[in-house]
Chain A
Amino acid sequence: MKQRLARMLTRLYPPVWRERYGEEFEAMLAMGPGDLGTVVDSVWSALREHVNPTRGGRMEQDTKTFAALMRRPSGYLPVAMSLAAFMMVLSALAVGLARGGAIVRDPDEGSIAHLFQLLMTVQWPIMLFFAMKWMRHAPRPTLGVLGLQAAAWLAGCAPVYFLHL
């Protein structure tokens, strides 16, 4: 098979797979016949590797993608806390509206307000820890996750700010 075609077929595989097997796979393709069966087999196998990637062995999982960082507790916890705070405020509003037909503004901070404050403040050290841990290794996905965490935080605060609760 021509070297160029071998390289093209190898490039169809995911980067993590190529990093581990790319060179030897390309060398083997270049040694063999460049017939249609070989091309179809390589394309099909590359597709399967995208759908059902090989993990383990000596293949390093890519731990620095946005998705991988979001799966870390310091990645998803702040978002979950903002979401919980947001849902809590909405629930309190809904209950108030159902009971009195209007938004209830309590001058004394009740347990919901305290819990809201706790959820919105405790996540800051977690976000700081996340930024310090990952910014050096993977700046772009880290910024993406931090952006999502900040957006979730702002969304959590939005009802309190706009409804003057």
Chain B
Amino acid sequence: MCDNYVMRSTRNVVNNEDSSGLGHYSDPPLLVLASLANGPKHGHAMIEDIVRLSGTRLGPGTLYGAIARLEQQGWIAPLPPEERRRPYRITAEGLRVLRARLTTLHQFAKAGLGRLEPL
């Protein structure tokens, strides 16, 4: 299932902390999975957590686009609503996907930084 993972466009991400956008990571589904890795959260809490985690502020439409597709893939699951807000939790399959993607990214970052060292 990890092979089907598609990196998402960054054009719907609202960057309001750094106008250059450099140094921000913005793959909404991966950010949502990473945000839910330390416990269930509702939409607004996810946005704030993702800002702290990656410096990127997702727009509400982008966030819910990612939530809908992650739920469709079975990587996150909804919990009972709290008033009008609904928290989500990451599933076991979602954790497996997140671990696989982060491992790939880690290897990529390590190799890329290694190439920068001699410069």
Binding site for B on A (CB under 8 A): 17, 20-21, 23-29, 31-32, 37-38, 40-46, 48-49, 54-59
Contact = CB atoms under 8 A, between A and B. Distances in A.
- Contact residues on B (Cβ < 8 Å of other chain), bracket: 20 to 34
A44 to B, nearest CB: 6
Determine the main DSSP class of A at the interface with B. Answer: helix
Contacts of B61: 41-46
B74 A57 contact: yes
Given A20-B68, A23-B84, A57-B74, 19 more contacts: A17-B68, A23-B81, A27-B84, A27-B85, A28-B44, A29-B60, A31-B44, A32-B44, A38-B59, A41-B60, A41-B62, A44-B12, A44-B61, A46-B61, A49-B65, A54-B68, A57-B71, A58-B78, A59-B72
A24 B12 contact: no
Contacts of B68: 17, 20-21, 49, 54, 57, 59
Interface of B: 12, 14, 16, 42-44, 47, 59-65, 67-69, 71-74, 78, 81, 83-86
Nearest to B75: A57
A104 B12 CA distance: 67
Contacts of B60: 25, 28-29, 32, 38, 41-42, 45
B94 to A, nearest CB: 12
B72 A37 contact: no
* 3 pairs of A and B residues whose beta carbons are closest in the complex: A45-B61, A41-B59, A27-B84
A13 to B, nearest CB: 9
A45 B44 contact: no
5 contacts: A27-B84, A28-B63, A45-B60, A45-B64, A56-B73
B23 to A, nearest CB: 19
B21 to A, nearest CB: 13
B41 to A, nearest CB: 12
Task: Give the one of B16, B42, B84 with max A CB within 10 A.
Answer: B84
A30 B4 CA distance: 34
